[in-house]
Structure 1
Amino acid sequence: MKNLVLIGGGHAHMLTLSKLETFIAKGYRVTVIQPSDYHYYSGMGPGMLGGTYEADDIRFATKKQVEGKGGKFIRAHASRIDPEEQIVYLAESEEKVSYDILSCNAGSYVPKDIVEGDGANVFSAKPIEELSRAKETILEKLAEGAVSIAVLGGGPAAVEIAGNIHQLGKRRGGRQPQIRLFTGPNFMSAKPAKVQKLVRRLLLAKGIEIIEEGYVQRVADGQIRVADVSYKADIIFPAIGVRPSKIFSISGVDVGPDGGLKVNTFLQSTSHPNIFGGGDCIYFEEQPLDKVGVYAVRQNLLLYNNLMASLEEKPLEKFSSGGDYLLIYNLGDGEGVLSKWSITFSGRIAFALKDYIDRKFIKTFQEI
């Protein structure tokens, strides 16, 4: 009996998890390794921080789904892969999980190494659960008095976090947090000029201070050093981009320049053909992909088909990244910025559309 092992229950594995019984029915054993019983939908994470959503609104019950369909769920961090012995090692135990076919949707993380010293009030957007803890910390400190919050970064995650912190304070009423966004000179620099303009306008209207004069040089003991100026912060959110899971760089498999699992057009490891991957943790050899959820969602069907085909020793399908994708940023207070092709606008309609799409997506897989 062949063993199919999945590391992570993220976006790229959603369809495979929803059809787990099709593997079981053919006599394959399926094991899913994930550090939490739930997988959180990252696209709704900032909204959870801002109070638009509760945790149950944005998560999938991975353990319940896997066990309900006849699979085995292991709550643990996959720490290393031995591709020669075909074993996955776990951080929390001596258990070794053997596989015939392995698929990795191990996700990514936000580096915190820019922050020195005590990390008690330092929060990142990944894992998403951190945003729930951040929300409680902000509310606790606001109840005690004035709070200064720093968001480090100038990309989509940073602006969404800043905007939703403002929403959280506004919904609470009373004293509002002081929010500074440390972007350096590259504020939303990878996005079109009109998107930059609209995002900036919305953030400034909320009273969020955008620090663009130089990059952050040092963060220690609640002090943020930029050029010759120091800023105090009670709570810090590093949002300086994401990196693929570290598991691949220590496992003897081919990796890309970012440390992600290097895969070919079949989403198959370029060094070990019985290992597959999707989402943020991969480096797509043909065309490096942005770290956005839309690609993981597009990989869903192909991963399912190729995992089944690989188990059955049948031909594999090629992945196409597709064309342009819709981008909508949740900037809090029911406002967003939408962009696709030549269409770009901001306001409540933009957020309402994002909210509808996100709720529809998550409901589809929550109800399976």
Structure 2
Amino acid sequence: MNALIKSATVVDSKSDFHNEKVDILIEKGLISKIAKDLDNPKNYQEIKLRNLHVSQGWFDSSVSFGEPGYEDRETIANGLKTAANSGFTSVALNANSQPVIDNYAHITFVKSKANDNAVKLYPIGALTQMSKGEDLAELYDMTNAGAIAFYDYQQPISNPNLMKIALQYASNFDGLVCSFPQESKISGLGVVNEHINSTKLGLKGNPALAEELQVARDLFLLEYTEGKLHIPTISTAKSVELIRAAKAKKLNVTCSVAIHNLIFTDDVLEDFDTNYKVLPPLRTQPDCDALIEGLKDGTIDMVTTDHNPIDIEHKKIEFDFAKYGTIGLESAFGALQNIFTTKKTISILTQGKSRFGISESSINEGEHADLTLFNPDTNYEFNNTHISSRSKNSMFLGTKLKGETYGIIANNKIVLK
């Protein structure tokens, strides 16, 4: 793949050309030349786009595509196309398919579905067999097949001894264990945040305490085992405090937050719109503020869209019975820019790769071209025309966003909308 990117502003603090408007010559997938004004004697494809900005390729640490088993919700092929259109050059795929991705063959299968794609797919294997929380899955075998971490997606590990053993065992091969932050007996049948709005709406509450107890437990287990832990999608102010204290003690822990938990509070639930039914639930404004502050000071290591397509039959029903989940790839960039500067937004979207053992490429000569192309300055209202996912369950519908993505150049391929 050869191309010449014209007049692009580089947004990459690791690049020698950070904040400069330059041309970027790409030959055979490598950045061969960066300069102010490059000629094109070999007549390569030229990429000229309005207010073009270029950054390192973005990474999402938690996406669900349904396949195998739930192709009606999303396929891997269309999911990767959606990721590319949304600016992501690499995604970590959750194990919540049917069958659950819990062995060598399953990891090999999903990787094969992404062969020769611009977006790199990194499978996360289930932590326990069939994600039932009873017996450990084949962690080492899945590592050899290409799994980058182990996680029972949105399924808490209720048995603390099982979590202890998982942390100890995975440490033998530097495996990353992920633990969903929810204590099931405390959360009970709660479907929204336990607070004033849950009482007003007559919906069962899932208290912040359920998350915080699990986070505290897992941090104690981490300290005991000296393992390697990632806590996905925290949602409360107290969770931020707990993880901040753990990092001060030099524990080997990272965490993420779902973008929607930074922006929406449980105040949006008054119309019983099931697109807002997510796990962990939307919390309060003080929680949002604490999560944003946690991102700014580095307590929270990365954001995720927690992209989870759900078919209409399981979303457009009574709130109590609707499945949890929202899609988020298409709205990620524009939503983050409502909170942060472009520089901070790009920094956030490119964080997290090293935690999952994924290599990074800066925008410098000689590096592999792993690039996201975007315009940070457009304003628009997000609607169905912006969605390329099979399922349309986005809580961002009707939200004003800032910034659009043009596509990616990665894995020796160009994908533009």
- Could you say which TM-score interval applies, normalised by the shorter chain? under 0.3
Q: TM-score, normalised by structure 2?
A: 0.24
Q: TM-score, normalised by structure 1?
A: 0.26
